[in-house]
Structure 1
Amino acid sequence: MSDNSTTTIRAIFATREEADLAVEHLVQKHGVLRPDIFVQAEDAENTVGSAPSGGDMSRSKGARRDAPIAGDIEVSADIAADQPASIQRTMGEIGAMRVSGR
């Protein structure tokens, strides 16, 4: 009999680029379905992270001023109960500042 139980894992990232990379790793490396992954600002404010990266940077002008750098980004996912350890490890390798979940 297989165990179909799930748990939720949360990882906090400083940049949108890291959060996007986390989503791709969850899908491609760990087989998590996209509808089971959620990305949001950690606080109530809209933000692209607490540090500029990727498309938020201009090579000639530095950080864009039209993108709110107002806080961290949370990636959460509903995962199989036997996956937390490997996913926590992956999130840490990507640059998560904090990872929680069973």
Structure 2
Amino acid sequence: MADDSTTTIRATFDAREAADLAVEHLVQQHGISRPDIFIQSATDRNTTGSKPSGGDASHEDGSRDDGAHEGEIEVSGDISANQIAAVQRSLGDAGAIRVSER
């Protein structure tokens, strides 16, 4: 008999770019429906991540003219139990700094 139970997987990222990449991995590689994936601040702060990347990088002299990066980003979703190991690997490949399930 197949295990058709589900679990919620959570991954924490320090850059929005990595969180967005993780969502694409979940949708394209694992067939998880986009409306079933949630992106939110991992803390009570409004955040785009705790480190700059891509278009949100600072100027060459280190100055910034945008909001400060404060806090990490959490990506979560419900997956079938038989996908846990593969999804954990994909989230790690996308740059997750922590992955947990419950």
1:72 positional shift: 0.6
| Corresponding residue number in structure 1 for 2:20 | 20
Q: Which consecutive aligned stretches of 4+ in structure 1 deviate over 4 angstroms post-superposition?
A: 58-64
Gaps of 5+ in 2: none
**1:78 corresponds to 2:85:** no
Preserved CA contact (<8 Å) 1:42 1:72: yes
- So what's the TM-score if we normalise by structure 1? 0.87
Describe how 1:1-102 pairs up with structure 2 within 5 A: 3-57=3-57, 64-101=64-101
1:6 positional shift: 1.3
RMSD: 2.0
- How far apart, in 2, do the equivalents of 1:85 and 1:43 lie? 26
1:54 positional shift: 2.0
Residues 1:43 and 1:3: Cα distance change in structure 2 (over 3 Å): same
Q: Deviations over 1:23-74 (max 9, x none)?
A: 0000001100011100001001101100011221266676743234001100
Residues 1:88 and 1:63: Cα distance change in structure 2 (over 3 Å): farther
Preserved CA contact (<8 Å) 2:3 2:82: no
**70-79 or 58-67, which deviates more:** 58-67
Aligned residue-pair number: 102
Q: Percent identity?
A: 61
Gaps of 5+ in 1: none
